[in-house]
Amino acid sequence: MEQEEILDIFKKAGALLTGHFRLTSGLHSRQYLQCALVLQHPPYASILGSELARRLLSLEAKPEVVAAPALGGILVAHEVARALGVRSLFAERQDGVLTLRRGFRLEAGQTCFVVEDVVTTGGSTRETIEVVRRAGGLVTAAGCLVDRSAGRTELGLPSAALAALDIPTYPPEACPLCAEGTPAVKPGSR
């Protein structure tokens, strides 16, 4: 699938938003991709998960597990894992620290792809990679539906994105929308 086909799915789902947004990273932006509006449609989730699985397999061998950070990555991990025929798990915050809970376990050396919905700075993906490593897993590749950094975010692993967009972000103190007095909304999960 080409990037325009991926973005067309986001547009059809009404998931490409314009306004003044405070991102999970703390940065501000004029555009936001609300992946939940896409992933609420099982046919779209299946298409995107299968395509991300295909792209990750072009980089690395099939893993034994697919992991993601909660909340945004849960459905992405599930759909990628479904396409690969492997197990899916997610890390979530407990006392402010990302961790495996709910009985999720990894065996020593078990191979894993880490996936996410949207990457801006890569912070949540890096945290999830560390969670998998601490649990004994071996992360072989990382992927996301949308890379807002247009490929500038380095994760230290082979990585794939279905769409790479160059959407400007601003620290709050340098945000032109804040300077205009427009209030920022926080549509994300953290």
What is the residue-level pLDDT of the chain in tens, covering all 190 positions? 999 999 999 999 999 999 999 988 889 999 999 999 999 999 999 999 999 999 999 999 999 999 999 999 999 999 999 999 999 999 999 999 999 999 999 999 999 999 999 998 899 999 999 999 999 999 999 999 999 989 999 999 999 999 999 989 999 999 999 999 999 999 876 6
Q: Is residue 174 helix, strand or coil?
A: helix
Between helices 3-12 and 42-57, what is the axis angle to 10°?
A: 160
pLDDT for the residue 141: 98
Domain containing residue 159: CATH number: 3.40.50.2020
In a domain, 162, yes or no: yes
The answer to the question of residue 163 being in a domain is: yes
* 108, 114, 120, 123: CA torsion to nearest 10: -20
Other CB atoms within 10 A of residue 174 CB: 10
User: Can you give the pLDDT at residue 145?
Assistant: 97
How high is the pLDDT of residue 162?
A: 97
Report whether 24 contacts 190 (CB < 8 A): yes
**pLDDT reported for residue 190:** 61
Q: Which domain holds residue 133?
A: 3-179
Residue 81 placed within a domain: yes
- What pLDDT, on a 0 to 100 scale, did the predictor assign at position 25? 83
Examine residue 14 and state whether it is found in any structural domain, yes or no. yes
- Give CB contacts under 8 A, 24+ apart, made by 28-33: 28/169, 28/170, 28/171, 28/172, 28/175, 28/177, 28/178, 28/184, 29/148, 29/167, 29/168, 29/169, 29/170, 30/167, 30/168, 30/177, 31/167, 32/187, 33/117, 33/118, 33/145, 33/146, 33/148
Inside any domain, residue 189: no
pLDDT of residue 53: 98
In a domain, 103, yes or no: yes
For residue 13, the model assigns a pLDDT of 97
How many separate domains does the chain show? 1
The pLDDT of residue 189: 64
Residue 110 lies in a domain: yes
pLDDT of residue 188: 72
Whether 188 is in a domain gets the answer: no
Predicted pLDDT at 132: 98
CA distances (Å), 40 to each of 8, 46, 120, 169, in order? Answer: 16, 11, 22, 26
